[in-house]
Amino acid sequence: MKRAILIILICVLVLTAVTVGAAAFRLWDGGRLTLILNGAETIRVEYGDVYQEPGAEATLKTGVPVSVDISGRVDTDKVGKYLIKYTAGTGGAVRTAYRNVYVVDSQSPVIKLTENPNGYTLPGQPYQEEGFFATDNYDGDLTDRVIRREADGKVIYTVSDAYGNTTTVERTIRYMDPAYPQILLEGGQMAFIMAGDNYQEPGYTSTDMEDGDLTSKVVVTGAVDNMTSGIYTLQYSVTNQKGMTTKLDRTVYVIPKPEGEQTPPEGEQNPENGENPDGEGAPNVDLPTGGTTIEPNGKTIYLTFDDGPGEHTGRLLDILAKYNVKATFFVVGGKDMSLVARAAQEGHAIAIHTYTHRYSEIYSSDDAFFNDLYAMQDLIYQHTGVKTMLTRFPGGSSNSVSSAYNKGIMSRLTKELPARGFQYFDWNVDSNDAGGAKTADEVFDNVTKGVAKRTNSVVLQHDTRDFSVDAIERIVAWGLCNGYTFKALDMDSPACHHGVNN
């Protein structure tokens, strides 16, 4: 079939040549005309660029140039495939050639990140986008198609254009650790007043590393009703220009005025023959007037202090006197006995702890124990005129350390002491000031949490520990504001005995 067509074609051509005469020569002369494209047969042009037509050369074998007709156009504003046709002809000889021109978009989009020169992210906080936009030479605005993710302190932005050109940029998150503004409360974070007394704001200042003095920007919320007993919280808040806020509380205890003067504990605690060194009798406490009182909550706190007196005992007595609160001191020998005398004179119970506080001696035998006990009783008597029958074992009645010196001694002593007319006291609230607690806050927490659970609390503290004494005003204020009654121990007080372990 193809062969048949070819034969017919040849016949037609021969027939034409015969008919046209001279032209027939030129037709067969076509082999002398050549058409050659300048440049490549396929050209790629970037979208938006100018397409430079390279043209084509047509020449006769004789070297005579023949003009080339170019048809087809390239629209570089439109991505696509364009066909350019080159035609050269002279007489009956015609040559054509084609060139493919591809208008392409091979340019990647551009992502621009906006940055706040003062921008920062607080450690642990998510990054707050400062802004970005993406453009593409072909697609235009691609901002909506940007995909962003946050990882390892960086934000990664990715966008692709319609032709799959992808751009990725990263932003390193600037984590800053700027200083918060500072608030300094004059007089500290606690204030104590008696109900009816005026409360005056002790004052405050605020500074910021960058903003400077921010005192005028401090906002104080809350109020104190000085006529109504209770615990009030004032909040001080300040915000710097970076939006960082510092808040600080001040707790104001409006303490109920004592209802009359409390009498010193009965029984053994009273001076028997007026031998108080100071000889003045009951303490004279200035009591404020006015203000409401707190309804008693029916619970009693027995504050007890072991191992003193010591260098902090004086200020402890000052605080107790200020609120007319009575406590119990389990004292040891070899200390400043004038402090013991003062404590007794101010109505506190003085009790025997031990003369030596040396476990290896006092727990070596029953006799050794009682020798130590009576020596301390005598010493107290000499300085206070009080022959106390109140005592507390070193280590408490539950101690097991004594078993290293004498097996079963605690079992015997806990029976023998009452038989000899003594009463021993352990404790049921441990401030832990000789254990894990190292700050006044911890002592306060341990004591207040402990007493809240009990009707009668015997609290163990040591007035040899400064931070334990530091917690006292707060403990007393808290107790009084919550309706507790503070009492010194006496022979009729709840004994609070531990289980014996030796």
Using CB under 5 A, list all residues that contact Zn ion.
Answer: 306-307, 394
- Span between the terminal Cα atoms of the chain, in Å: 125
Cβ closest to Zn ion, residue 196 vs residue 394? 394
User: Does residue 144 sit in helix, strand or coil?
Assistant: helix
* Residue 408 C-beta: closest distance to Zn ion, Å: 22
Q: Single out the residue of 380, 382, 386, 369 nearest to residue 420, CA to CA.
A: 369
Cβ closest to Zn ion, residue 306 vs residue 490? 306
* Residue 330 C-beta: closest distance to Zn ion, Å: 7
Cβ closest to Zn ion, residue 103 vs residue 373? 373
DSSP string, 371-425: HHHHHHHHHHHHHHS----EE--TT-TT-SGGGGTSTTHHHHHHHHHHHTT-EE-
Distance CA 376, CA 75 (A): 113
* Residue 483 C-beta: closest distance to Zn ion, Å: 31
Burial class of residue 488 (count of CB atoms within 10 Å of its CB; 0-12, 13-18, 19+) = buried
Cβ neighbours of residue 402 under 8 Å, at least 6 residues apart? 359, 363, 395, 409, 410, 502
* Residue 292 C-beta: closest distance to Zn ion, Å: 40
* Residue 463 C-beta: closest distance to Zn ion, Å: 11
Tokens of residue 380, six digits: 């107290």
Which residue carries 């021969």 as its tokens?
14
User: Does residue 90 sit in helix, strand or coil?
Assistant: strand
Q: Which helix (H) or strand (E) holds 124?
A: none
Which residue carries 């003095």 as its tokens?
213
* Residue 402 C-beta: closest distance to Zn ion, Å: 13
Edge-first strand order for the sheet with 80-90 is 42-46, 93-104, 80-90, 68-71
Cβ closest to Zn ion, residue 394 vs residue 450? 394
* Residue 342 C-beta: closest distance to Zn ion, Å: 21
Cβ closest to Zn ion, residue 178 vs residue 435? 435
Q: Which helix (H) or strand (E) holds 277?
A: none
* Residue 189 C-beta: closest distance to Zn ion, Å: 32
Cβ closest to Zn ion, residue 307 vs residue 346? 307
CB count within 10 Å of CB 168 equals: 12
Task: Look at the alpha carbons of 29, 35, 36, 38 in this order and tell me if their dihedral is positive or negative.
Answer: positive
Q: Single out the residue of 460, 424, 423, 421 nearest to residue 443, CA to CA.
A: 460
CB count within 10 Å of CB 240 equals: 22
Cβ closest to Zn ion, residue 256 vs residue 394? 394
Q: Single out the residue of 340, 420, 426, 401 nearest to residue 376, CA to CA.
A: 340
Cβ closest to Zn ion, residue 304 vs residue 324? 304
Judge contact between 350 and 329, C-beta under 8 A: yes
* Residue 332 C-beta: closest distance to Zn ion, Å: 7
Q: Single out the residue of 33, 35, 34, 37 nearest to residue 99, CA to CA.
A: 37
* Residue 357 C-beta: closest distance to Zn ion, Å: 6
Cβ closest to Zn ion, residue 309 vs residue 394? 394
Cβ closest to Zn ion, residue 66 vs residue 434? 434
* Residue 383 C-beta: closest distance to Zn ion, Å: 19
Buried b (16+ CB within 10 A) or exposed e, 212-233: eebeeebeeeeebebeebbebe
Cβ closest to Zn ion, residue 161 vs residue 307? 307
